[in-house]
Structure 1
Amino acid sequence: MRLSISDRFVPFLLVLGSIVSLSIGTSIAKDLLFPVIGPTGTTALRTGFSALILLLIWRPWRQPIRGRDVKFIAFYGLTLGMMNLCFYLALNTIPFALAVAIEFIGPLTVTVIYSRKPTDFIWIALATVGILLILPLNGSDSGLDITGVLFALGAAFCWGLYIVFGKRVSHLHSGHTVAIGLIFASMVTLPAGINELGPLFDHPWILLIGFMIAGISSALPMSLEMAALRRLPHKTFGILISMEPAVAAIVAFFMLAESLTPVQLVAVAFSICAGVGSAMTARAKIDTLPV
């Protein structure tokens, strides 16, 4: 049966909409909230409001959850919180697109570990070369803050764990899992950012911006991704989501005036190629990881 034009392009538009929404929300956070409450305060607001929004949407308390599942949801949520915290700390000192490109090494590593297909090591090598291109090695000055790079690598590590723990609870309702997981994520981000939230009393508009960012960066992208996954094979979805570093570079250029050097653009290209290649050739996908 031939697919209609809408059947072919709607899933693509859903994934693109998710990536653009996430990029815009993150850029707004960096532009408007970082100068006032810093990356830790911003992360606390984002995860806290995201949890509130998704709890109201999905109301997970209506369905009982086994104790074993709660344990893995807790691990899933805690790694989600650490991932967001490390990523926003990375954004504080390095460009958005480069932080995304570095973070992608996390899911790529998980793919290689569980696939065990020799060609998959090509993709992790590409991503690694991309990172090496932007690191200040051998005394060279890349203009990139090493602390920010390390935080991005920390976010990559947490993203890998997030995928593994997410598989452990993949049999549960995805909306319920994410909503409850964000409660545990807030247990990480709120203590880390609580000391930065003092300006809320002088600038109540921060709460409105934080709520908006939570919707644009979490609730809307996740809803679009869930709709796309119902229409796309996981492999195709993985290929499309690999566009994220490129979209982040474009959005950050217009919203944050962040421009990349030629070498940094090559590094982003390596990340995109690694993501696309991994999605195309992986033999054992993440949705078939052993439970």
Structure 2
Amino acid sequence: MLGSGLSNQVGASVAALAFPVIGPAGVVAVRQWVAAGVLWAAGRPRLRSFTAAQWRPVLGLALVFATMNLSLYTAIDRIGLGLAVTLEFLGPLAVALAGSRRRTDALCALAAAAAVVVLARPSPSTDYLGIGLALLAAVCWGCYILLNRTVGRHLPGLQGSAAAAAVSGVLYVPVGALALWQNPPTPVALGCALAAGLLSSAVPFLADLLALRRVPADLFGVFMSVNPVFAAVVGLVVLDQHLAPAAWAAVLVIVGANTVSLTTASAPATAKKGSG
């Protein structure tokens, strides 16, 4: 789990090193192609056997893939890694809190909302477009979770995710071709983009599979809450991006809200299981 989280954020920071040369769109295109190759090899989808009912959520997931990564990487380029990933993390937090009637979850939602206000507080240097793109990535991540569940019910194994990644990779062929034609890549920039694809797609995918065989899903979800902290630390070390003390506090509040929500939600189920 530690390797998955760190690899994902280091991959994003390495991707940011290529932004000045080929831009976020060029980097995302390369990352999508790498992800498509990795997931296709792992899932080996039988596309000809897909029905219309199976294709609909797959195509929705492909659009989410394409939009989520481009909006996130563009946000990273504008507002920094730590802030962008923290705002993006509101997506899975919203999914976890949606529909809950527990007072604890309501308090967690209020705490997260207050932290977002702190992160987006008006100032002469506030980049509202960057914040908006990070929040769009959050919406996409929430949709990704919901669509992934639907795809998992309609298709066996990893076929649905692999097909969605492949479609997303095809969608990025013209985008990537245009971006790389307008901004010819240097060997270093292209290497950074390829490394980002491996570190943010292949390594986390394999690491998560191995981790979920050994730890409960609720513990895995709680641990993934530290990704915004990883992003802020990696952004500081690799990209020299400094967060203000108030921003650090807001990051920790959002991480804490997710952790409290997940741990308190799993505790009653665990207790009930033990009493039976």
Match of residue 274 from structure 2:
none
1:217: Cα distance to partner?
A: 0.7
Which residue among 14, 17, 35 is the counterpart of 2:3? 17
Q: Per the alignment, do residues 194 and 129 of structure 1 end up closer, same or farther by CA in structure 2, a change over 3 Å counting?
A: farther
Q: Distance in 2 between matches of 1:63 and 1:279?
A: 39
Closer, same or farther in 2 for the Cα pair 1:270/1:189, shift >3 Å?
farther
Deviations 1:39-72 (A, max 9, x none): 1111111112210232234322399444322221
Q: TM-score when scaled to structure 2?
A: 0.88
Return the alpha-carbon distance in structure 2 between the equivalents of residues 162 and 274 of structure 1: 21
Would you tell me which structure has more helix in proportion to its own residues?
A: 2
Match of 2:80 in 1: 95
Q: Is 2:145 the counterpart of 1:163?
A: yes
Alignment pair present for 1:281 and 2:264: yes
Aligned to 1:12: none
- Report the CA distance shift for 1:205/1:199 in structure 2 as closer, same or farther (over 3 A): farther
- Note the C-alpha offset of 1:205: 5.2
Q: In 1, Cα distance between the equivalents of 2:240 and 2:185?
A: 28
Aligned to 1:115: 100
The CA distance in 2 between the partners of 1:244 and 1:266, in whole Å, is: 15
User: Is the deviation greater in 111-120 or in 209-218?
Assistant: 111-120
User: What does the per-residue CA deviation read over 1:193-220, in whole Å, with 9 as the maximum and x for residues that have no partner?
Assistant: 4432116756355444332221111011
For 2:64, give the aligned amino acid: T
After superposition, the Cα gap between the structure-2 partners of 1:202 and 1:163, relative to the gap in structure 1 and judged at 3 Å, is closer
| Partner Cα separation in structure 2 for residue 202 and residue 279 of structure 1 | 43
Report how far residue 264 of structure 1 moved: 0.7
Task: Check the 8 A contact 2:54/2:151 in 1, yes or no.
Answer: yes
CA contact (8 A) 1:83 1:155 kept: yes
Within a 5 Å distance, the mapping from 1:160-199 to structure 2 comes to: 160-171=142-153, 172-198=155-181
Deviation (angstroms), 1:192: 4.3
Matched, 1:133 2:118: yes
What residue number does 2:273 align with?
none
Q: Structure 1 vs Structure 2: percent identity of aligned residues? A: 32
Query: Counterpart of 2:260 in structure 1: which amino acid?
Result: G
Any unmatched runs of 5+ in structure 1? 1-14, 286-291
Q: Does 1:150 align with 2:132?
A: yes
Unaligned segments of structure 2, at least 5 residues? 270-276
Matches of 2:78 and 2:183, distance apart in 1:
23
Distance 1:188 1:273, change over 3 A: farther
1:210 alignment partner AA: A
Letter paired with 1:30: A
Aligned runs of 1:256-275 on 2, under 5 Å?
A: 256-275=239-258
Letter in 2 for 1:80: F
Of residues 32, 39, 54 in structure 2, which corresponds to 1:47? 32
Alpha-carbon spacing, 1:251–1:280, altered in 2? closer, same or farther (3 Å): same
Amino acid corresponding to residue 23 of structure 1 in structure 2: Q
- What is the alpha-carbon distance in structure 2 between the residues aligned to residue 128 and residue 66 of structure 1? 41
Q: Is the 8 A contact 2:69 2:137 kept in 1?
A: yes
Which range is displaced more, 107-116 or 213-222?
A: 107-116
From the superposition, tell whether residues 202 and 93 of structure 1 become closer, same or farther in structure 2 (CA, over 3 Å): closer
Task: State the match for 2:229 in structure 1.
Answer: 246
Q: Which amino acid aligns with 1:273?
A: G
| Contact 1:106/1:156 (<8 A) preserved | yes
SS state at 2:207 partner? helix
Q: Match of 2:210?
A: 227
Counterpart Cα distance in 2 of 1:281 and 1:73: 33
